[in-house]
Amino acid sequence: MSVQASERSHTAGEMSRPSLFDRLFLEHPRDVRETYFEHFGHSASYGVRVLGIAACCFIHALIPGLHKTTASRNICKLADELDDRAQEAREERCRKSGSYDAGL
């Protein structure tokens, strides 16, 4: 193979790979059928909720009679929500690959 043909096939291969920007900022939101900003909103809301749960844990550490079940209850609720979103993402990946069967 000539040097030019090798360069062309290398360039064509590079074009099929997503850019670093795409991999870091767009690929995952697209996988879960969201825009970057929709995904940002969901992720940021989870972050704020986790900070609130952490604050309740520190308050409970200082005053054990307060927030006795707040952290565990909210962590379980958050885990359920994240699990539902993860299941939706898995189903979307299966649909994209052509191996999704709604009847299963």
Q: Does residue 36 belong to any structural domain of this protein?
A: yes
Structure tokens at 82: 């994240």
Q: Does residue 4 belong to any structural domain of this protein?
A: no
Q: Does residue 69 belong to any structural domain of this protein?
A: yes
pLDDT of residue 101: 65
Task: Provide block-wise average pLDDT over 10 residues at a time, the chain (104 residues).
Answer: 48 70 94 93 96 98 97 96 89 79 61
pLDDT of residue 62: 98
Q: At what angle do helices 70-97 and 36-62 cross, to 10 degrees?
A: 160
Residues 100 and 87: their CA atoms lie apart, in Å, by 13
For residue 90, the enclosing domain spans 18-97
CB atoms within 10 A of CB 84: 10
Q: Does residue 60 belong to any structural domain of this protein?
A: yes
Terminal alpha carbon distance of the chain: 49
- Total count of domains within the chain: 1
Q: Does residue 3 belong to any structural domain of this protein?
A: no
Q: Does residue 103 belong to any structural domain of this protein?
A: no
Residues 20 and 24: their CA atoms lie apart, in Å, by 6
pLDDT of residue 78: 96
Q: Does residue 7 belong to any structural domain of this protein?
A: no
| pTM passes above 0.85 | no
What letter does residue 46 receive in the DSSP assignment? Answer: H
